[in-house]
Structure 1
Amino acid sequence: MQTFSYAIGFDDAPFQRHQGNVRVVGVVYNGLRLEGVLSGQVRQDGRNSTPVLTELVRRSKFYPSLRLVLLQGIALAGFNVVDIRALSDNLGLPVLVVLRRKPNLPSIEAALRKVRGGQRKWALIQKAGPVEAVAGVYVQRAGLTLEQAERVIRRLAVHSRLPEPLRAAHLIAGGLATGQSRARP
């Protein structure tokens, strides 16, 4: 049975609306113990999130131990949509997108009509599969079952509904960007 003991959670830092790069933070956990932090940058509303995350993970000393990638939402830096199936294939690891609230997909699709490359980005969201309710959150997944996703969330969501790697990534990214973190991811 897969335990997903080593997991990395990614979140982006708060950012102002501008054309440029946004910091992304990855936090590595072994069970409930913080093991390390990675950081990089993706283009706001861009198309480079999948290759950037792939390289951040591949080049890290943690890659050989990792068993799971967690994302807080399918997009980083606005509408820089992660291709979770390609990320999973590139790394040979399952990818689990975790959302606190069910997304309003019709509103997202409408917003993407106004964004450069929006049709391609909407296709990536659809390719990620349905948004499913599990363990008090919503998920999209690549490379793991819904039952495995539920076990991961129940095991790693200690101080909120979000797994600790995502909660920590949110706090660290916020602290780096603004000088202090906000308590609730």
Structure 2
Amino acid sequence: MARRWSHVAGFDDAPFPRSHRGDVLVVGAVYAGRCLAGVLSGAVRRDGRNSTAVLIRLVGESRFRPHLHAVLLQGIAFAGFNVVDLRALHEGLRLPVLVVARRRPDLAAIRRALLLRVGGGKRKWSLIQDAGPMEPVAGLHVQRAGLSLEEAAALIRATTWNGALPEPLRTAHLIAGGIATGESRHRA
């Protein structure tokens, strides 16, 4: 029997200046079918290590949690290099988690940056490796926990109806950008 993907939360971080230090806004758009059912927001530390705990708290303590079928992330890191522990997020929420990217990331450049310029970079690189390879599916690249590649494709198809990205991610991106800069810009 195929899984249902009607109730999904998608998370993205807000844009911030390169010189910014401190907390960065993270926004979640919660969809029930094609209807925006709610918005979640919190803050994670720039290049920190609290993104997993913040996401578990935001989703786990929300009124939406009992109905959710999956969580989508726009990339595996928020606020620069605050890398999400994909397995811990999946286990903490007991929900499938799908990391989505438009393009395959340059892992060699990410590794160099983490190991040479970011505090705790070795641990963060390990989290990226533990999440598994970026796999092409439905015109995007994904990392996943708690769902098969076929289920990931079905989840993307079920939640994408306006552009290339799943609507919960597109909406979270637009909301986060609008709050942080006063107006959303760039394509989601």
1:160 maps to what in 2? 163
Counterparts of 2:142 and 2:126 in 1: how far apart (Å)? 17
Structure 2 CA distance, aligned partners of 1:160 and 1:110? 32
TM-score (normalizing by structure 2): 0.97
Deviation at residue 18 of structure 1 after TM alignment: 2.1
Alpha-carbon contact 2:12-2:28 (below 8 Å) kept: yes
Deviation at 1:180, TM superposition (A): 0.5
Q: Distance in 2 between matches of 1:142 and 1:108?
A: 21
Letter in structure 2 aligned against 1:128: A
Following superposition, the deviation at residue 31 of structure 1 comes to: 1.7
- Residue of structure 1 equivalent to 2:101: 99
| Structure 2: runs of 5+ lacking an equivalent | none
Per-residue deviation at 1:183? 4.2
C-alpha separation in 1, matches of 2:5 and 2:148 = 12
* 1:59-78 correspondence runs (5 A): 59-78=61-80
Task: Classify the secondary structure of the residue corresponding to 2:155.
Answer: helix
Deviation string, structure 1 residues 111-147 (Cα, Å, up to 9, x no partner): 1012110000000000001100000000000000000
Contact 2:6 2:158 in 1 (8 A): no
Structure 1: stretches of 5+ with no match in the other structure: none
Alignment partners' CA distance in 1, 2:118 and 2:105:
18
Give SS of 1:97's match: strand
Q: Does the alignment pair 1:117 with 2:120?
A: yes
What is the match of residue 32 of structure 2?
Answer: 30
Q: Structure 1: which amino acid aligns with 2:184?
A: S
Deviation at 1:155, TM superposition (A): 1.8
Counting aligned pairs with the same residue, the percent is 63
Q: Give, as a single letter, the amino acid of the residue that structure 2 aligns with 1:153.
A: I
Paired residue type of 1:181:
S
For residues 124-139 of structure 1, the aligned pairs below 5 Å read 124-139=127-142
How many correspondences in the alignment? 185
Q: Secondary structure at the match of 2:20?
A: coil
Query: 1:151 is paired with a residue of what secondary structure?
Result: helix
The 4+ residue runs of structure 1 with deviation greater than 6 A are none
Q: What CA distance in whole angstroms lies between the structure 1 residues aligned with 2:33 and 2:178? A: 23
Distance 1:182 1:30 in 2: 25
